[in-house]
Structure 1
């Protein structure tokens, strides 16, 4: 196994996590300070989803023409330019365009990077090594809000740090090989429908986690501010959610190599449902802190286990196509989550975020407890 390549690709993708963990809440807090509504903030949060979908459609085709490594490096550099322009062009509508471009560039890196990782790990360590990548990514997102709390959201330093991180991620990929072989084929509607028909529980788990992740870094801080929490504490609580995601992924990955993975999949869904329903009740209780840890761990476990299931089944071009389909589903989740939560928060209830996560968990449990799901 190419350990150097494994860690280099993980680090390159993780640079995205720290960048998004810093800049996404910064954008939302800046819009909140400018007086924009929950719906407007939700639209901004959902905009990268369109870029995610476009990036997923283009990843395989571009990689076949340019090469996986060069394409990933180029997209990281292009993403760094988009983040820099967020600092230089403080305008709501320009930010929508820049976040769209950022979504395209970084999605290509995700699709190819996660395919690369799943391709080179050995089967007997698959659960642990995929979980190690997931832990690193979650920790990078955890560090984002903490870093923003340290440097403050009033200035643009968070944007410039994100710019530097993406440039560094591009440099880390120099000289590495072993990426999946990719043909000039892009994921499309037929791939998406086939994937959803054959693996519906995995498909919905990805949509649900994408909605969770996009809302944690954009709408969760606003939700907590509206519930009376000061900004510093709100950012700390968001970090606690991500800490739960990060802290328990390695144990989940270790268990995934030892016990039936479908059992863990179901357990994560049940914990996500319970914690989502409990959040409004315990929001101002000391029990909120452990609740948020379990909330983040259960949501993160759904995605980690989904990647493990995908890595079991596919190789090379099929693996890249499967990950491109995952990215399409991710884009759908990133689009539906913030838009529905932003709208519901403004016009129905401020507790829309946990309630919609609970509804999503119910849908997942329905799919994963079907007899056909045992084939996972």
Structure 2
């Protein structure tokens, strides 16, 4: 195993996470300051999902023609360029297009980066090393809102910091090579329904976590502010969600190498369901803090375990194709979450965000508890 490559690729993706952690809440809070309602902010939050769908279709073809390393560097530059235009063109409709470009470029980076990491690691260490990657990414997102709380949301300093970080990612990736060799045709995003039929619980878990992440960084700060919390405290509460996601992925990854991964998968779904239902009930009490931590940890655990289960089953082009399917499902989740939450928050209830997550967790448990739900991975799972 090439340890240096593992750490460098992980660092590059972590840099992207930090840039996202600053940019996504800054856009939503800027729109809130401009007077846009929850639905308009939800539309903006969902716009990168369309870019994700496009990026998932293009990732294999671009990487096959350009090479994975060069493609990742080009996408980092494109993401930095998109954020740069956000600072100089403060217009809602222009921002929609820029967020689409940003979503597409970041998607290609994640597909190639996660495929690279999952192919590098050996199966006996897969749970721990994928969890380290997930934790590092979550920590970077945690630092985003904290940095934004220091920089403030009135100036464009957060945008410029994100641009600098993305360009740093370009410099880091110049140091490595040896990414998976990709056949441009076989690594496309086609055939996603076959993936869903083979691994329905994994597919739904990916969509669920996409909803969670899109709403945590975009709509959760707005939800908390409108429930009476000061902006600084709201950003701190968002950070506590990401703390749970970051810190508890390591023990989850360790457990994934010691116990049956599919059982652990189901346990994360139960914790997510309970914590989501608890948030509106304990929102203005001290118990909100552990609820938010468990909320983040369980949602992050579902995604980490999804990557582990996919990585233990697929290799080479098939692995990149599976990650392209995951990205497509991620895009659907990013569309579903902000749109439905923004609409429900406007017309039904201010607590739509945690209730939607609880409903999605319940659907996951129905899929995960079905007989034969994990037949696609059960043979290798038994050998863990």
Q: Would you call these one fold, judging by a TM-score over 0.5?
A: yes
The correspondence of residues 317-328 of structure 1 with structure 2, limited to 5 A, is 317-328=317-328
Say if 2:15 is the partner of 1:24.
no
Q: Check conservation: 1:132, 1:249, Cα contact below 8 A.
A: yes
Instruction: Look up the match of 1:331.
Output: 331
In the TM superposition, residue 240 of structure 1 has moved relative to its aligned partner by 0.2
Instruction: Look up the match of 1:295.
Output: 295
In the TM superposition, residue 175 of structure 1 has moved relative to its aligned partner by 3.4
Helix, strand or coil at the partner of 2:119? helix
State the alpha-carbon separation in 1 of the partners of residues 244 and 176 from structure 2: 32
State the alpha-carbon separation in 2 of the partners of residues 177 and 89 from structure 1: 36
TM-score normalised according to structure 1 size: 0.99
State the alpha-carbon separation in 2 of the partners of residues 106 and 92 from structure 1: 21
Unaligned runs of 5+ in 1: none
State the alpha-carbon separation in 1 of the partners of residues 130 and 189 from structure 2: 26
Instruction: Look up the match of 1:237.
Output: 237
Q: Check conservation: 2:24, 2:217, Cα contact below 8 A.
A: yes
The correspondence of residues 86-165 of structure 1 with structure 2, limited to 5 A, is 86-165=86-165
RMSD over equivalenced CA pairs, Å: 0.8
State the alpha-carbon separation in 2 of the partners of residues 305 and 374 from structure 1: 12
State the alpha-carbon separation in 2 of the partners of residues 86 and 7 from structure 1: 31
State the alpha-carbon separation in 2 of the partners of residues 374 and 109 from structure 1: 28
Instruction: Look up the match of 1:187.
Output: 188
Instruction: Look up the match of 1:213.
Output: 213
Unaligned runs of 5+ in 2: 378-384
In the TM superposition, residue 179 of structure 1 has moved relative to its aligned partner by 1.2
Q: Check conservation: 1:180, 1:315, Cα contact below 8 A.
A: no
Range that drifts further, 352-361 or 178-187: 178-187
Say if 2:9 is the partner of 1:9.
yes
TM-score normalised according to structure 2 size: 0.97
In the TM superposition, residue 374 of structure 1 has moved relative to its aligned partner by 4.2
Deviation by residue 1:247-289 (Cα, 9 ceiling, x = unmatched): 1001000000000001110000000000011110000010000
Q: Check conservation: 1:145, 1:238, Cα contact below 8 A.
A: yes
In the TM superposition, residue 164 of structure 1 has moved relative to its aligned partner by 0.4
State the alpha-carbon separation in 2 of the partners of residues 170 and 94 from structure 1: 26
Helix, strand or coil at the partner of 1:128? helix
State the alpha-carbon separation in 2 of the partners of residues 41 and 101 from structure 1: 17
State the alpha-carbon separation in 2 of the partners of residues 177 and 208 from structure 1: 33
Q: Check conservation: 2:115, 2:319, Cα contact below 8 A.
A: yes
Instruction: Look up the match of 2:380.
Output: none
Q: Check conservation: 1:119, 1:179, Cα contact below 8 A.
A: no
Q: Check conservation: 2:67, 2:181, Cα contact below 8 A.
A: no
Q: Check conservation: 1:200, 1:367, Cα contact below 8 A.
A: yes
**Number of residue equivalences:** 375
Instruction: Look up the match of 2:381.
Output: none
Say if 2:373 is the partner of 1:373.
yes
Q: Check conservation: 1:221, 1:234, Cα contact below 8 A.
A: yes
Helix, strand or coil at the partner of 2:349? coil
In the TM superposition, residue 192 of structure 1 has moved relative to its aligned partner by 0.6
State the alpha-carbon separation in 1 of the partners of residues 358 and 220 from structure 2: 15
State the alpha-carbon separation in 1 of the partners of residues 180 and 317 from structure 2: 7
State the alpha-carbon separation in 1 of the partners of residues 268 and 344 from structure 2: 25
Instruction: Look up the match of 1:201.
Output: 201
In the TM superposition, residue 188 of structure 1 has moved relative to its aligned partner by 3.9
Q: Check conservation: 1:51, 1:101, Cα contact below 8 A.
A: yes
Instruction: Look up the match of 1:342.
Output: 342
